[in-house]
Amino acid sequence: MSSEQTPTTTASDDTGPRPRRLTHAAALAALEGLALVAGGVWLLVLGLAGEPDDRGQAVTGGVTLIALALLPLLAARGLFTRRSWSRGPAVITQIMALPVAYNMLRSDGVAIPAGIVLAVVAVTALVLLVNPETTRALGIRGPGNAGK
């Protein structure tokens, strides 16, 4: 064994300030995660204290939403700390949000404005996440540029 220590490197370029696009993408992912937590808690409270149509379904839905909130919250934390792995979960979250927004837009009443907001947030976050400035800040290299 060598007594030399190998320096630990991160995949991102931590020099300089974090780009605003990366900060905004992280904030949108965090906002989505917090919205999922709020919806999950609301369903749990409704299921446990209220008079839902099906108590088991309300509790299961609440727990599911809270569990699903972990993906965008972890991605947001990774984006804030410039971890290259975080872009994948953040993009997946936005792609999963688009069909939900579409179904909300096709429904009646209050779900339509919520669907519009969700669609705008998801598309905006996707644009921010694939932006070259964000990609560079996370240290992600394109195909064929691994050695550069």
The domain ranges of the chain are 27-79, 84-138
Q: Rounded distance, CA 121 to CA 33, Å? A: 12
Q: Which of 21, 32, 143 is nearest to 82 (CA)?
A: 21
Rounded to 5°, angle at Cα 21 from 40 and 35? 10
What is the average per-residue pLDDT within 31-52?
A: 91
- Asked if the model's pLDDT at residue 148 lies above 70, the reply is no
Q: Which of 91, 93, 86 is nearest to 32 (CA)?
A: 93
- Asked if the model's pLDDT at residue 14 lies above 70, the reply is no
Q: What confidence score (pLDDT) does residue 147 get?
A: 58
- Asked if the model's pLDDT at residue 73 lies above 90, the reply is yes
CA distances 77 to 6, 15, 87, 141, Å, are: 26, 18, 11, 21
Q: Token digits for 1?
A: 């064994």
Q: Tell me, what amino acid is at 85?
A: W
Q: Which of 83, 80, 66 is nearest to 29 (CA)?
A: 80
Residue 19 sits at φ, ψ, to 5 deg, of: -60, 145
Q: Rounded distance, CA 136 to CA 148, Å? A: 13
Q: What confidence score (pLDDT) does residue 9 get?
A: 41
Mean confidence (pLDDT) of the chain: 87
Are residues 68 and 89 in contact, defined by beta-carbon separation less than 8 angstroms? no
